[in-house]
Structure 1
Amino acid sequence: MDSMLQVFIICLFLGAVVGFFAGLLGIGGGLIIVPALLYILPSVGISVTQLTHVAIATSLASIILTSMSSATAHHKRGNVPWHLFKPIMPGIVVGSLASAFVSEQISSDNLQQTFAIFVVLMAIQMAFPLKVKTGDDMPKFAMLFMVSVLIALIAGLMGIGGGVLLVPFLSYCGLQMRQAVGFSSVTGMFIAISGTIGYVIAGFDAPNLPPGAFGFIYLPALGGIIISSILCAPLGVKAASTWPTPVLRKIFACLLVVVGLKLLLS
């Protein structure tokens, strides 16, 4: 079987897992997609020097449609505080665009180790979520801009939507949880779009990328993930109403710790 077709088929299964767990546990797909792609993509000839960049870029691109769907749903429910768009969105765009070019300055091994540490920290947060003490009001424009740049930069470097960082920050600043989650869904869409554009541009001059690569995005893997994740996410949402979600969240967090440690030590 052609290696490109094989990766597409494997990523159909990967996308199904990602979509289901995203619906079941409310997690971003990047924490699953990136480690999986680090094992899948070498089969199509992606070199170790570019492997982590391609895995993260492809993960980020896969978030676009799911975050767009989530943002639309939250907007219809009135959960998006659009008055925060002006102070936060410029920083989101700047940070996510910059992430691709910053990642070029980091070796694939160092980027993988950084991602591994991030996975372990996020797994701990998932198993034992922090109780956020809410504040009274939003910081000034300059502070919101700087924080949004930092969050988007980290999200772009890790191939995630950024909600795991932005929601606690907005909640701490006094925003209601539903509004924090709603606004995070909008920023996740912009992080995914801007970051994807950045990784495409940054990867145009990358040497020895295989057929099927568009910049640092590997299209066969992206297509497989998107198709099945969209179909399986509603199944996860349905299961969340009957399955023991808190228990499953801790089990999944333990799995992420194992994955993160394996990546860190490999």
Structure 2
Amino acid sequence: MTFDIWWLAYPVLGAVVGFFAGLLGVGGGGIMVPMLTTLFLAQGFPLAQVVHMALGTSMAAIVMTSVSSLRAHHRHGAVRWDVVRRITPGILLGTFGGTFIASRVDTAGLAVFFVVFMGYVSIQMLLNIKPKPTRELPGTAGMSAAGLLIGGVSALVAIGGGSLSVPFMTWCNVKVQNAIGTSAAIGLPIALAGTVGYLVNGWNAAGTPPLTLGYVYLPALVFVSLVSMATAPYGARLAHRLPVATLKKVFAGVLMLLCAKMLHSIFA
């Protein structure tokens, strides 16, 4: 195994991902996927595999982050475990199934879907859109359907699901604090099912570089995960001192720029 100079970029990416995750409570996929796609292309990885590898590696990196986030929210009593139990079967099936869809979509299609969804997330942040509570949580069938949708989209864009699950729960009259805490708990089965799915679907993929398991590139996974876990607490501390509403708007702008760079890297 030889050291690749590009590996030095992964701890920097991990520091940024962890900091913003702690500061704004957002998953790292929005930053990781476009940045990893650009880095993988710079390293000469096959164009046909780069977005799939970025999604798989991001999903694997989210596992450790989601464990830390879940524990923190559980300590504050913010997790609705009754909701977690009812929605998790659909989440697992939707996320795992979503990786099979992703593996059969070409790089350009995946990139466009990712950018469109991140555009939706960015607009939510810019306009501070929050659904009005209008109803109660649905029954078992409704929760399973919601889990399938949240899991499936999460697999296609490598997020922990908060961009969908928090609005869904607040729409169903779950308190915002509980919605955020419960979403953090839901993020773990999403990350686990997504990681397994990308490992399985990429296992026999042709042309993946050395040190890759399925669609997970191990050097990126290790460096991003270790550093992001170290920087997340600093972001969380600053969240109580800085104007988070303003920072969310800045972050939304950064997301859009990263997505534009990703599309340029792929289509150019």
Interval containing the TM-score (normalised by the shorter chain): over 0.9
**C-alpha distance in 2 between matches for 1:19 and 1:234:** 8
Cross-structure match for 2:199: 200
**C-alpha distance in 1 between matches for 2:84 and 2:258:** 36
- Tell me which moved more, 157-166 or 43-52: 43-52
**C-alpha distance in 2 between matches for 1:10 and 1:263:** 16
Runs (4+) of structure 1 moved beyond 6 Å?
Answer: none
How far is 1:131 from its partner?
A: 2.6
- Tell me which moved more, 248-257 or 204-213: 248-257
How far is 1:264 from its partner?
A: 4.0
**C-alpha distance in 2 between matches for 1:179 and 1:136:** 16
Q: In structure 2, list runs of 5 or more residues that go unmatched.
A: none
Q: How many residues align?
A: 265
Change (3 A) 1:247 1:86: closer
**C-alpha distance in 2 between matches for 1:31 and 1:41:** 16
Cross-structure match for 1:114: 113
**C-alpha distance in 1 between matches for 2:151 and 2:250:** 28
How far is 1:235 from its partner?
A: 1.2
Cross-structure match for 2:149: 150
Q: Secondary structure at the match of 1:9?
A: helix
**C-alpha distance in 2 between matches for 1:164 and 1:41:** 26
Cross-structure match for 1:20: 19
Cross-structure match for 1:82: 81
> Does 1:215 find its partner at 2:205?
no
Preserved contact between residue 45 and residue 210 of structure 1 (Cα < 8 Å): no
Whichever residue aligns with residue 215 of structure 1, its letter is: G
Alpha carbon RMSD of aligned pairs, Å? Answer: 1.6
How far is 1:190 from its partner?
A: 0.6
- Tell me which moved more, 185-194 or 133-142: 133-142
Cross-structure match for 1:124: 123
> Does 1:40 find its partner at 2:39?
yes
TM-score (norm 2): 0.94
TM-score (norm 1): 0.95
Cross-structure match for 1:165: 164
**C-alpha distance in 1 between matches for 2:230 and 2:80:** 29
Q: Secondary structure at the match of 1:48?
A: coil
Q: In structure 1, list runs of 5 or more residues that go unmatched.
A: none
